[in-house]
Chains A and B, each alone.
Chain A
Amino acid sequence: MSSRIEILNDGGYRSDGRRQYELRSIDIDMSPQGTADGCAVVSHGLTQVQVCVFGPREARKRAETLHDRAVLNVEVGVLPFSAGERRRRGRADRRILELAASIKSTFEPVIQTSLYPRSQIDIFVSVLAQDGGLLQACINATSVALASAGIALGDLVCAVSGGVHGTFPLLDLSALEEGDLPNVTVAITPRSGKVTLVTLETRLHVDRFGEVFARACEAGRVIHTEMRRAVRARTSKLVDAMGAGTKGTGEEDVERDVLMSEINDF
């Protein structure tokens, strides 16, 4: 199938008007939904993913608990209206199971599971709209949801997708670009700069891979800045709400708490 739309034209612009290394607009919404302990809705351009976190809570099956750690349970649901044409994907679809398994193994070393033995942490991912970069959106949304649930994390995990067009690396691919180009998704822990997840499909030369890999790791830090901003905004809103509740001596505590959140560089 020939692509009638140019991926990258001579002026350096992509099909949706972005430059080569420009990321789509990111929107992170951490307002509470339902009874979930933590919830986040993250959009990368038109791709929108919602994640609800429950836990740590009593495990449903005693036989599956570990005596010294919490068990992570990830379930992914892709809504039928999320893609261009309406399709119902069953729970046991291999692609979806693989997505769930990737998310689970990405967060298992990051969540401090040894603090919650014999319990279960449930992560429910719903894909609301798909326009490329699904795995990156799921991972970013899960990070933020876990932070909003107050579960102990070693670090946030930030993910970026990328691809190579000819010899030019591109970042944050939309669905149109994903179909044509080899695409890479990289997830990093921003504090240490280490890589927790790398996936590549379709053929790509080793040297090209090295370039796009390096760029994606840098872009992960940009996403981290956005996440920090959103989590900070929400935390300070919560702190204000707590401060408004108590009177008198509560005021000095609020002052101190706000100062602490500015000093802590996380």
Chain B
Amino acid sequence: MPRPPSPSIPEKEFLYGSLKQSLRLDGRNPLEMRTPTLTFGPDLGWVECAMGKTRVIAQVEGKMVKPPPERPLEGLITIHSELSPMASSEYESIRPSEEEVTITRMLDKVLRRSDVVDKESLCVLSGQRVWHLRLTIHCLADAGNMLDCACLAGVVALKHFRRPEVEVVGEEHDPSERAPLPLSMHHTPFCFTFAYFPDPTILPVLDPSHLEQRLSAGLMSVALNAQRELCVVQKAGGMPLDQQEVLRIVDVAVGKAKELDKLVETRLKEDWAGRTVEVR
């Protein structure tokens, strides 16, 4: 697939010119995120996250398996994400493109390596039965910044999921009559991506749109939770930034994390209030 043509000269010049005046093409402030819209599906653990026109679906499923012998006390979590050409014609189906590798690795780091879910709580019978959680992420449309959208969808899906409560009765286990349990999570990370541009007088913008991402000189992603703990910082190359600038971006992300945390909690409560869980 030949690479898509880079944006035209008037588009480039107009974008840089308006960013110099702190104007963004969709009318946002430079440090304003698109408000995420979270839609929950009928199943627990199915959530669609839309930020502007960027849409991602995440789903969590759980099943019981035998744990590997070297870790008999911990559950397993696998993340499966594929960017199909449906999201954007830039993603090939055969070889993973660079952006796909970045997104898959970042999701892995944010959701798995930073210990979001308490794996020891997933153990039912040590050495024999543990929960294997499978998080699947489908990217439906890419209008810039698919990474943040995918991370948010994944985290909210994990918070939304309820696993059946099982009791060990002798050697058998039955799903009991109690309500399904939420997963025990250590923390809730959120990812924020900033784009910065070749002109050093233009300050970095948060949540870049498609055109801003293509014309940027580099991206910096910061994943952190509302308790001021950084999970992932990823500035992989791109134009060099001052040390102060890097720390300033981290500070901005800290503020945004608190806001996003409140929003997610409110949405989850609303959805949970609207559901009636059958207890047979």
Binding site for B on A (CB under 8 A): 63-64, 92, 94-95, 97-98, 101-109, 184, 188-189, 192-206, 209-210, 213-214, 217
Bound CA span A92–B250, Å: 32
- Number of B residues, CB within 8 Å of A: 40
Q: Is B69 an interface residue (CB 8 A)?
A: no
Minimum distance in angstroms from B82 CB to a CB of chain A:
12
Does any Cβ of A come within 8 Å of B236's Cβ? yes
A202 with B231: CB separation less than 8 A: yes
Is B24 an interface residue when CB atoms closer than 8 A count as contact? no
Across the interface, A213 reaches (CB within 8 A) one of B232, B246, B251, namely B246
Q: Smallest distance from the beta carbon of A104 to chain B beta carbons, Å?
A: 7
A200 vs B109: C-alpha distance in the bound complex, in angstroms?
9
Interface pair B237/A102, CB less than 8 Å apart = yes
Q: Given that A198-B234, A203-B115 are contacting pairs, would A92 and B95 also be in contact in the complex, using a CB cutoff of 8 Å?
A: yes
Task: State which residues 79-98 of B face A: CB under 8 Å.
Answer: 95-96, 98
- Known A-B contacts A193-B243, A206-B250, A214-B243; A109 and B237 likewise in contact (beta carbons under 8 Å): yes
- Tell me if B2 counts as interface (CB < 8 A to partner A): yes
Contact with A along B211-240 (1 / 0, CB 8 A): 000000110100010001111111111111
CA distance A64 to B114 in the complex (A): 37
Closest B residue to A193 by beta carbon equals B243
CB distance from B197 to the nearest CB of A (A): 12
CB distance from B220 to the nearest CB of A (A): 8
Rounded to whole angstroms, the CA-CA distance of A214 and B224 in the bound complex is: 20
Q: B238: which of A105, A201, A210, A213 is its contact (CB, 8 Å)?
A: A105
19 extra interface residue pairs, beta carbon distance < 8 Å, beyond A64-B3, A94-B108, A210-B247 = A97-B101, A98-B101, A98-B105, A109-B217, A109-B218, A109-B238, A109-B240, A196-B237, A198-B220, A198-B234, A198-B246, A199-B234, A200-B230, A200-B234, A202-B114, A203-B187, A203-B231, A209-B230, A210-B250
* Nearest A residue to B241, CB-CB: A195
Which of A94, A195, A203 lies in contact with B114, CB distance below 8 A? A203
The A/B interface has a contact count, at CB < 8 Å, of 114
B window 53-106: CB within 8 A of A: 95-96, 98, 101-102, 104-105
The CA-CA distance from A53 to B108 in the complex, in Å, is 31
Give the residues in chain B near A103, CB-CB below 8 Å: 237
- In Å, the complex CA distance between A188 and B251 comes to 21
B173 part of interface (Cβ distance < 8 Å): no
Q: What chain B residues lie within 8 Å of A210 (beta carbons)?
A: 247, 250
B113 at the interface (CB under 8 A from A): yes
B240 (CB) vs chain A CBs: closest residue: A194
CB contacts (< 8 Å) of B224 on chain A: these are 206
- A184 to B230 alpha-carbon distance, docked (Å): 11
Chain B residues whose C-beta falls within 8 Å of the C-beta of A94 in the assembled complex: 96, 101, 104-105, 108
Contacts of B95 in A (CB 8 A): 92
Instruction: Give complex CA distance A59, B15 in Å.
Output: 31
Q: Which residues of A contact B96 (CB under 8 A)?
A: 92, 94, 97
- Asked if residues A194 and B104 are in contact (CB atoms below 8 Å), the reply is no
Q: Which residue of B lies closest to A64 (CB)?
A: B3
Q: Taking the nearest CB of chain A, how far is it from the CB of B194, in angstroms?
A: 12
Is there an interface contact between B233 and A200, defined as CB atoms closer than 8 Å? Answer: yes
Given contacts A97-B96, A101-B102, contact A199 B243 (CB under 8 A): no
User: Pick the contact of B239 from A64, A102, A109, A205 — CB < 8 Å?
Assistant: A109
- Which of A188, A193, A197 has most chain B Cβ within 10 Å? A197
Which of A193, A195, A217 is packed against the most chain B CB atoms within 10 Å?
A: A195
- Whether B243 and A184, one on each chain, are in contact in the complex, defined by CB atoms closer than 8 angstroms, is no
Question: In the complex where A109-B217, A213-B247 touch, is A195 in contact with B235 (Cβ < 8 A)?
Answer: yes
Question: A214 vs B115: C-alpha distance in the bound complex, in angstroms?
Answer: 26
B242: interface (CB < 8 Å)? yes
Question: Max chain B CB contacts within 10 Å: which of A64, A103, A192, A194?
Answer: A194
